[in-house]
Chain A
Amino acid sequence: MKTDAAAIFLAVITCVASMDAEAAKPLSNASTQTVDVSVPVGRTSFPPGPGSELADAHCVICHSPGMVLRQPPLSFDEWKAEVNKMRSVYAAPIPADKIEEVARYLSTINGKP
């Protein structure tokens, strides 16, 4: 009985202490709080140019264009390999006959010889 009382007393202390210090929120908050946030989606279209409508339609489903623009400049063949990977591994719905057009567009906006 004594132990129970002590436990309750401690719990009350902990609770009060937590309200004192916003900076030291008790971890038990993790189990009682609701986290509700909004996450920016960033830019949703590629720089305009021949093929950009394909990139807008098929790449932006899963990731923002910034991923492409911040890659190192890649050759047409390297971009083609990336497009193929997006299709075959991640199931990007790029029609097979559009792979080269998308790769050509990507090597226009961020390419190297």
Chain B
Amino acid sequence: MMNDPCDIKRRHVLQSLAAASAGCLAVGLPKVTQAADAITLPFDNGLRELTTAFPQKGGMLLVRSRPPLLETPFSVFDEGVFTPNDRFYVRWHLASIPTRIDGRTFRVKVRGSVSRELDLGLEELSTKFERVEMAAVNQCAGNSRGFFTPRVAGGEWGNGAMGNALWTGVRLRDILDHAGVKRGAVQVRFNGLDTGVIPDTPDFIKTLTLDHARDGEVMVAFGMNGKPLPLLNGYPLRLVVPGWYSTYWMKMLNDIEVIDTPDTNYWMAKAYQIPDTPHANVSPGQTGIKTLPISGMVPRSFFTNVSDGSVLDLNRAQTVRGIAFGGNSGVRDVLVSHDSGVTWTSARLGRDFGKYSFRRWETQFVPQRAGQYVLKVKAINTDGTAQPDTPNWNPGGYMRNVIETATVIAA
């Protein structure tokens, strides 16, 4: 029932047709227009080639070749609650990325403020510690940056810089306890195999507090949806930080360093900073705002089988469905409106794969008059946080989670 692909005819108006007859169309351009080998996201310079040229990847939207930024085409999210590995988005900061990794010789070090330093191979890591599994959403801090108004520079993503996977690995806590964290340690710093091309480019390194690193949820994962990770998603090891933005989910993790003074490296102290304000929201041009490193995610929900310009049948019950996630907690409720937010009703939620997972939702909708309907969807998480009515803005283009809208037509 949650997977009926034919319920709503996606009679999308093509952009060319819309342009040719713009004068007599009652609605705006469809949100996303698709040709055979490209998709145009609805913002300036939004044309994205649909590429299959990247290893272990199917069709992806090309945001940047080197270092790769590949976006998941949004239609993938209608296909299931887990995002297939070969469609999972890709985001690298630095261009020197190993393309050949031998799983038999790969090592990860645990060092710094520990009683005994560790140098673990994959076999040892995956058998020495208790194996755990968790479904969790991995979302780029700048997912949806392209929708910021005014626009901001950065990775110009639509809504597809996110994915949900079943991660298999071991608890970071178990590894740290095996190494024996010394008294006075405060943080744990993570590095992967990628580096800059220029020696003076700051290496991409991220840090968590020791308490967070030892919370029993943070994982070192070697499995993604039951398979080894694709290289571009961090093979062979990736840090999984459930509920937190992906910037912390270090790919090709090969170095875990326990430190006893707070990390001041560029990627913690200067990059990925958000305003210390509600919704990380400021006015464009506002200055003198205190900032802090980005951390936990906020709730989001999306339509996956309708979008702007979708045509629904008049006087027939049709399923409107999508996905939601709670961010740093579970999904309590998903509310859907057919009248632009005047009235809301709870959607039926699909199977619960855990608080950090995508959750499918669906409602039945019977359009009883012809014409335009402004559909809205809003998630409320188990902390009671709801998606906001108006979009946030900040110079980094981070943490967008405004209520989503789809303007559809009943005919």
Contact indicator A31/B236 (Cβ below 8 Å): yes
Known contacts A32-B103, A42-B65, A73-B44; is-contact A27 B228 (Cβ 8 Å): yes
Residues on B with beta carbons closer than 8 Å to the beta carbon of A74: 153
A95 at the interface (CB under 8 A from B): no
Known contacts A27-B126, A39-B55; is-contact A71 B153 (Cβ 8 Å): yes
Contact indicator B64/A66 (Cβ below 8 Å): yes
Contact indicator per residue, chain A 3-37, by CB within 8 Å of chain B (1) or not (0):
00000000000000000000011011111111111
Q: What's the minimum C-beta distance from B169 to chain A, rounded to whole angstroms?
A: 9
Residue among B63, B103, B152, B235 with max Cβ neighbours from chain A (10 Å):
B103
Contact indicator B235/A30 (Cβ below 8 Å): yes
How far is A78 from B94 in the complex, measured between Cα atoms in Å? 22
Contact indicator A62/B100 (Cβ below 8 Å): no
Contact indicator B45/A24 (Cβ below 8 Å): no
B78 at the interface (CB under 8 A from A): no
A110 at the interface (CB under 8 A from B): yes
Contact indicator A34/B198 (Cβ below 8 Å): no
B178 at the interface (CB under 8 A from A): no
Contact indicator B45/A61 (Cβ below 8 Å): no
- Number of contacting residues on A, CB 8 A? 39
Residues on B with beta carbons closer than 8 Å to the beta carbon of A78: 153
Residue among B45, B69, B228 with max Cβ neighbours from chain A (10 Å):
B228
Q: Which of B224-274 contact A (CB under 8 A)?
A: 226-229, 231-232, 235-236, 266, 270
Q: What's the minimum C-beta distance from A76 to chain B, rounded to whole angstroms?
A: 14
Residues on A with beta carbons closer than 8 Å to the beta carbon of B123: 28, 31-32
Q: Which of A28-77 contact B (CB under 8 A)?
A: 28-43, 61-64, 66-67, 69-74
Q: Which of B75-101 contact A (CB under 8 A)?
A: 94-95, 97, 99-101
Contact indicator B228/A29 (Cβ below 8 Å): yes
Contact indicator B197/A35 (Cβ below 8 Å): no
How far is A43 from B64 in the complex, measured between Cα atoms in Å? 10
Contact indicator A62/B197 (Cβ below 8 Å): yes
How far is A67 from B126 in the complex, measured between Cα atoms in Å? 38
Contact indicator A30/B228 (Cβ below 8 Å): yes
B168 at the interface (CB under 8 A from A): yes
How far is A92 from B199 in the complex, measured between Cα atoms in Å? 10
Residues on A with beta carbons closer than 8 Å to the beta carbon of B350: none
How far is A61 from B67 in the complex, measured between Cα atoms in Å? 11
Contact indicator A25/B227 (Cβ below 8 Å): yes
Q: Which of B196-218 contact A (CB under 8 A)?
A: 196-202
A91 at the interface (CB under 8 A from B): yes
Residues on B with beta carbons closer than 8 Å to the beta carbon of A40: 53-54, 65-66
Out of A30, A62, A66, which one reaches B222, CB within 8 Å? A30
Q: Nearest CB to that of B222 among chain A residues?
A: A30
How far is A36 from B102 in the complex, measured between Cα atoms in Å? 8
Q: Nearest CB to that of A81 among chain B residues?
A: B153
Contact indicator B64/A34 (Cβ below 8 Å): no
How far is A25 from B226 in the complex, measured between Cα atoms in Å? 8
Out of B54, B126, B156, which one reaches A72, CB within 8 Å? B156
Contact indicator per residue, chain A 71-113, by CB within 8 Å of chain B (1) or not (0):
1111000100010000001111100000000000000001000
B122 at the interface (CB under 8 A from A): yes
How far is A73 from B202 in the complex, measured between Cα atoms in Å? 27
Contact indicator B228/A66 (Cβ below 8 Å): no
How far is A81 from B168 in the complex, measured between Cα atoms in Å? 42
Contact indicator B55/A38 (Cβ below 8 Å): yes
How far is A107 from B227 in the complex, measured between Cα atoms in Å? 45
Q: What's the minimum C-beta distance from B265 to chain A, rounded to whole angstroms?
A: 12
Contact indicator B104/A32 (Cβ below 8 Å): yes
Out of A27, A36, A43, A91, which one reaches B200, CB within 8 Å? A91
7 A–B contacts, CB within 8 A, in A order: A29-B103, A30-B122, A33-B228, A36-B100, A70-B45, A72-B45, A91-B199
Q: A27-B227, A28-B126, A39-B68 are in contact. List 7 more A-B contacts (CB 8 A).
A: A30-B235, A36-B99, A42-B62, A62-B94, A63-B95, A67-B64, A71-B45
Across chains A and B, which 3 residue pairs bring their CB atoms closest together, nearest first?
A42-B65, A31-B122, A37-B55
Interface residues of B (CB under 8 A from A): 43-45, 48, 53-56, 62-69, 94-95, 97, 99-104, 121-123, 126, 146, 151-153, 156, 168, 196-202, 222-223, 226-229, 231-232, 235-236, 266, 270
